[in-house]
Structure 1
Amino acid sequence: MIGEARSFADMFLHRAVTRGMAVADVKRGDALLVVSELVTNAVRHAPGPCTLALDLQDGLLEIAVSDTSGRSPQPQPFEPGRIGQHGLEIILALCTKVDTEIGDRGKTVRACITVL
């Protein structure tokens, strides 16, 4: 599922470029990394299915991943020797905005990243 989500996002950005939207190659890679991290978190921490939605306007890509867990993602405390569990740190470093919306059926994490 994670690879499929990444491929879907890559196709989405490719289509945007073919339609004349500007997407920098480096930012495209960053956006795909954010998609991978958000979907990985959903797959690991939620008991049911997840969805991915993308919206690109004025050089800002919104990546929304919904899952069935009602728990907000929490950054881990700094531990220099920790292996893994750095996904949220990566997302927060790359994105201009990250919000979580909790609903009756789970949550949606929305991350915005500039792609220009």
Structure 2
Amino acid sequence: MRAGYALRGGDGCIADARHHATAFLDQAHADHHLPVPSRARDLTQLVVSELVTNALKYAPGPVLMELRINAHAVDVVVWDSDPTVPAARAADPDRIGQHGLEIVKAATESLFTEQEPVGKRITARIALSDDPAGHDTRRRTR
């Protein structure tokens, strides 16, 4: 399942992006019976917030967001018009702000950037498993 959204910026844009993500996950659960643990839901909203915020802050023009889901993961894909590939800064507990990419890297299974003919596309993958390493955490009975 996948869905795309054009985000124009302005007041409420980031909240709208989070709302789209929540509605998308709800629809995946309702229509396709995909389990979406609260951990994955929360991380998806966090990743959407951080990636859309960065795109609006650093790139002129529109921002496009695509959400994809399968039985194992949710992909959050954000395109913007700035071709500059972002890089996480070195850890600095005294730095105020500019931790978004560090947060996204820590919260996701994978993160990669593709340069496009115009701009770039960042894809963050969030595991649907409650255990991001994929281990079976269910209790076994004998």
**Which of 51, 55, 71 lines up with 1:38 in the alignment?**
51
Number of residue pairs matched?
116
2:64–2:80 contact (8 Å) kept in structure 1: yes
Counterpart for residue 114 of structure 2? 101
* Distance in 2 (alpha carbons) for counterparts of 1:103 and 1:26: 31
SS of 2:17's equivalent in the other structure is helix
Counterpart for residue 2 of structure 1? 14
Are 1:49 and 2:62 counterparts?
Answer: yes
* Distance in 1 (alpha carbons) for counterparts of 2:17 and 2:105: 19
Are 1:24 and 2:37 counterparts?
Answer: yes
Q: Give the share of equivalent positions with the same residue, in percent.
A: 38
Q: Which has the larger radius of gyration?
A: 2
Deviation at 1:59, TM superposition (A): 2.2
**Which of 126, 129, 136 lines up with 1:113 in the alignment?**
126
Counterpart for residue 137 of structure 2? none
SS of 1:92's equivalent in the other structure is helix
SS of 2:19's equivalent in the other structure is helix
Moved over 3 A (4+): none
Summarize deviations over 1:36-74 as a string: whole Å, max 9, x none: 100000000001111000110122111100000000111
The unaligned stretches of length 5 or more in structure 1 are: none
Counterpart for residue 26 of structure 2? 14
Could you say what the CA RMSD is over the residues aligned between the two structures, in angstroms? 0.8
Counterpart for residue 85 of structure 1? 98
**Which of 65, 75, 87 lines up with 1:62 in the alignment?**
75
* Distance in 2 (alpha carbons) for counterparts of 1:115 and 1:32: 13
1:31–1:115 contact (8 Å) kept in structure 2: no
The unaligned stretches of length 5 or more in structure 2 are: 1-12, 130-142
* Distance in 2 (alpha carbons) for counterparts of 1:81 and 1:91: 19
